[in-house]
Structure 1
């Protein structure tokens, strides 16, 4: 009977990544690729967390510095990665420290985020999960990206 319960529980396939010593996650269905060492072209704008744009296979994609978006100020390193996300027809890159895992997280383990958790802004959190002795903050991609702001920066080549 226990095996039947395990197989019927919904699993959230999640990309896990590091950012300033904490682990964060995004649902795999929003992630298109993980890129390294792409040159970012700065563009004039008013939002400090939008670092510029990249040219990825002929498509110009806006890039967000996830540290700044989450309220942290650490400068990025030379080995940062960029997670390319997609919501509907909009692609956005997210600068992270390192993508390190893909996990199937049982949906029953998801908990409401506490009022404060490190420096991360609660408004961008979907939930937290204690999984395999790891505390993982799952981000709300819709609130994080705020597509109304981002779409003004996205252009096609």
Structure 2
């Protein structure tokens, strides 16, 4: 049996990216995002997903410094070890099984601003960049404070 990876493929800009299915809770149509003042530019606000408030990250803003329009976006709801979050993407296209020999390490993983790119999957006429949501949330400026706040809020709700 192959030790490949099952991934959710999505579009951002004109490129394809993927996140392991193990990190994806759901794919949602974008509903109401509540703006919160003073958040980083890549975070348009928070939204409620299945009764839980989660921060929303605009992946187009993170990568290309431009925001997505709500009508043309989907939200990947992700679970990291620390928190759940929603990532706004252009389109969530498909779920793929990618054989392990198709993954190539990329030197960009050592570049501080893109260390969340862990590999590139080379398929026939496609290149799909793999993203690790754990590294993504650790590497974004301001995300640690937001994560700590969300954890603190969650622990107060359970007391």
Q: TM-score range by the shorter chain?
A: 0.7 to 0.9
Aligned-pair Cα RMSD in Å: 2.0
Q: What secondary structure, in the 3-state scheme, does the structure 1 residue paired with 2:101 have?
A: helix
Match of 1:125 in 2: 117
**Per-residue Cα deviation, 1:45-78 (whole angstroms, up to 9, x for no partner):** 34211211001222111011111222x1233121
1:149–1:131 distance in 2 versus 1, CA, 3 Å = farther
Answer yes or no: is the 8 Å Cα contact 1:36–1:79 preserved in 2: no
Match of 1:20 in 2: 13
Match of 1:55 in 2: 48
TM-score by length of 1: 0.83
Indicate the structure whose relative CO is greater, using CA pairs within 8 Å and at least 6 residues apart. 1
Structure 2 unmatched ranges of 5 or more: none
Answering whether residue 135 of structure 2 is matched by residue 139 of structure 1, we say: no
**Per-residue Cα deviation, 1:63-105 (whole angstroms, up to 9, x for no partner):** 11111222x1233121211100001351000000000011111
Matches within 5 A, 1:1-150: 7=1, 9-70=2-63, 72-77=64-69, 78-88=71-81, 90-115=83-108, 121-146=113-138, 148-150=144-146
Number of residue equivalences = 145
1:141–1:130 distance in 2 versus 1, CA, 3 Å = same
Answer yes or no: is the 8 Å Cα contact 2:8–2:92 preserved in 1: yes
